[in-house]
Chains A and B, each alone.
Chain A
Amino acid sequence: MGTSILIIAELKGSTLRRVTLEALGVAAALLHERSGDIACFLAGSNKADLELASKELARHGAHHVYVASGEAHQPIQALTSLPPILSIIKELKPQYIIAGHTAYGRELAPRLAAELKAGYIADIISMEEFEGQLQFTRPIYAGKAFETRTFHGTSPHLLTIRPNNFAPASVADDVEQANVEPIFITEEAATPLPSIVKNVVQRMSSSIDLTEAEIVVAGGRGVRGSDGFKLLQALADELGGAVGASRAACDAGYCDYSLQIGQTGKVVTPQLYIACGISGAIQHLAGMSQSRTIVAINKDPDAPIFSIADYGIVGDLFEVVPLLTAELKALHQ
């Protein structure tokens, strides 16, 4: 029997999240030259979206797509997804189960780990084979250190991957692959644990999640207020990125705590991080210093953020940020 890998796929709105395609990339790397199958689990309420997403999963290397569809999956919930996922696992006996380290994935994985008595390595940013053993690297101590871990027990093994750290699976040119039909789960799985979603208030002005964004425009105390954050949002929109903030900006009430990057708050690793009016306290650096390229805009030439920035602009963000937005607009036309 070959290796079997189960991916917990995830829709955001009507489209697949990028981290799902990254998980498929990890699955392909795990299979490498070995024979084996990649299966996906996907939950949602809109049948047309689910069918489209299934095709997309297949195009990116999934051999089977299991779909749980219905009103109960709107919005997707770890508790409602758990019973169908467990029944798929029972059938497929996968060696690896991979999810994104997203709100959904990080609720599902621990429950699966406890139920399956499985090892779980969370929030991985890379993997490599060393002396025949797979080693997974993850940040600890809020990004101030990294550890590598290996699975020591029997499979299944659970992994969640941090968005933006693995290459998404490439598109298979295999015709057969494109013909994978989604398998709609009709069988009643066990009753989920009780929970009802009453309401969802969308507060994120952009549809791009901060941890998943390839470009982050972040503001600190120097942004001086919620109006200043509107300038950052305009720049982020133009770049197709998301807005983040330092603790100082959140504490001052300029923006919501959900935007906080650093120590407490989120750790982000985008391709481009633009720090505006952020001095660069060690707590903040912990949350962003692994970004690929860092730009710092600050009035204070001695701000510590400049010591880690690839490009430093000593200047007034209220002048520079709108200029950047305008220049980009011109470029994009």
Chain B
Amino acid sequence: MKIIVLMKQTFDTEEKVEITNGMIEEHGAKFVINPYDEYALEEALRIKEQNGAEVIAITVGPERSSVALRTGLALGIDQAIMICDAEHGDHSYRIAALLAEVIKPLKPDLILAGLFAVDSGSGSVALQVAQLLQLPHASAAVKLRLGTAEELLIEDAPWSGTLALVDRDVEGDVETVVIPLPAVVTAQQGLNDPRYPSLPGIMKAKKKAIIERYPSELLAEVNQDDLSSSLTVRTALFPPSPRSAGKRLSGDGSQQTKQLLHSLIEANIIQRGGN
């Protein structure tokens, strides 16, 4: 089995986000593997350990993104591919097209990715890749099992070969879907508990090669009109409007409660007669 993991290196949003001159301040910032992609990566490594698989991680981004791949190598992926494209981080169609070009000849059985990236937050690229490659998908997976219909105890599957049985989070409910491989599965929080790289792993990863690919070769096959028609542009970037503390309600619990409800009704936030 061949598994591809789509990874993005993101700004560590656990840290404070500073804006200088209309740009996110990257100087001194910490970069991490997008937390949702970590679940995808961990799942690929578990499948490899249980059933044997070749795991290839691919990332698109500036030079610094190779650090994320290096971490992947330390964790046990077999191959790392870096698409060097520094300038177009928010052009999701372009990124999906680049990834699709690299993935197509590799003919993977499974593509794993995070549900969304915590920086741009659109959750768009993985599903665009699925559409470009005409693969089915299951998104927001919280449990993934692979096997034949027989192994997965699915009686009425119309497909032969390996299937993915996926429990997915749909706004809090759990929906179980079956899709035949090859397919794309995106990872939701709760899918697994990602591991940390070991020191020997980190040492070994330093010697491993990262394959570099370039848009100039990959986009030769892509229609330039499609790239321009899908473009959206950022015109402003700003911090959230600040909030200040309001009033503390005084008295005992019962008095505080009454004051609060009175204020909320006054402000028309809740209604006296029920909602």
Is A225 interfacial (CB 8 A cutoff)? Answer: no
* B122 pairs with A282, CB closer than 8 A: no
Contacts of B275 in A (CB 8 A): 214-215, 239-240
Contacts of A114 in B (CB 8 A): 93, 96, 127-129, 131-132
- Residue ID in chain A nearest B17 by CB atoms: A144
Contacts of B253 in A (CB 8 A): 315-316, 319-320, 323
User: Which secondary structure characterizes the binding site on chain A?
Assistant: mixed
* A140 pairs with B119, CB closer than 8 A: yes
- Residue ID in chain A nearest B136 by CB atoms: A193
Given A122-B124, A295-B260, A323-B257, A153:B229 Cβ within 8 A: yes
Interface residues of A in 302-333 (CB under 8 A from B): 306-316, 319-320, 323-324, 327-328, 331-332
CB distance from A250 to the nearest CB of B (A): 9
Contacts of B92 in A (CB 8 A): 110, 113, 120
Number of A-B contacts (CB under 8 A): 274
Contacts of B134 in A (CB 8 A): 193
Contacts of A275 in B (CB 8 A): none
Contact of A203 among B172, B190, B235, B256 (CB under 8 A): B172
Is B264 interfacial (CB 8 A cutoff)? Answer: yes
* A259 pairs with B172, CB closer than 8 A: yes
Kindly specify which of A39-47, A52-60, A89-97, A260-268 makes contact with the partner chain. Answer: A260-268
CA distance A148 to B233 in the complex (A): 8
Contact mask for chain A residues 116-127; partner B; CB cutoff 8 A; 1 contact, 0 none = 011111110000
Given A194-B180, A203-B172, A120:B121 Cβ within 8 A: no
CA distance A51 to B231 in the complex (A): 37
Contacts of A293 in B (CB 8 A): 264, 267, 269
* B172 pairs with A327, CB closer than 8 A: no
Number of interface residues, chain B, beta carbon within 8 A: 92
CB distance from B123 to the nearest CB of A (A): 5
Interface residues of B in 156-192 (CB under 8 A from A): 157-159, 165, 169-180, 189-190
Is A102 interfacial (CB 8 A cutoff)? Answer: yes
Contacts of B264 in A (CB 8 A): 272, 293, 295, 311
Interface residues of A in 123-178 (CB under 8 A from B): 123, 130, 135, 138-154
Number of interface residues, chain A, beta carbon within 8 A: 95
CA distance A199 to B178 in the complex (A): 10
* A320 pairs with B257, CB closer than 8 A: yes
- Residue ID in chain B nearest A330 by CB atoms: B261
CA distance A323 to B255 in the complex (A): 10
* A200 pairs with B229, CB closer than 8 A: no
Residue from the set A113, A197, A292 with the largest chain B CB neighbour count within 10 Å: A113
Is A106 interfacial (CB 8 A cutoff)? Answer: yes
- 15 A-B pairs (CB sep. < 8 Å): A75-B175, A103-B140, A103-B169, A109-B124, A110-B127, A114-B127, A140-B119, A193-B136, A199-B175, A202-B173, A258-B169, A260-B189, A272-B270, A312-B248, A313-B257
Q: Which 9 A-B pairs have the closest CB atoms?
A: A310-B246, A110-B127, A114-B131, A153-B229, A114-B128, A117-B226, A122-B122, A240-B275, A332-B274
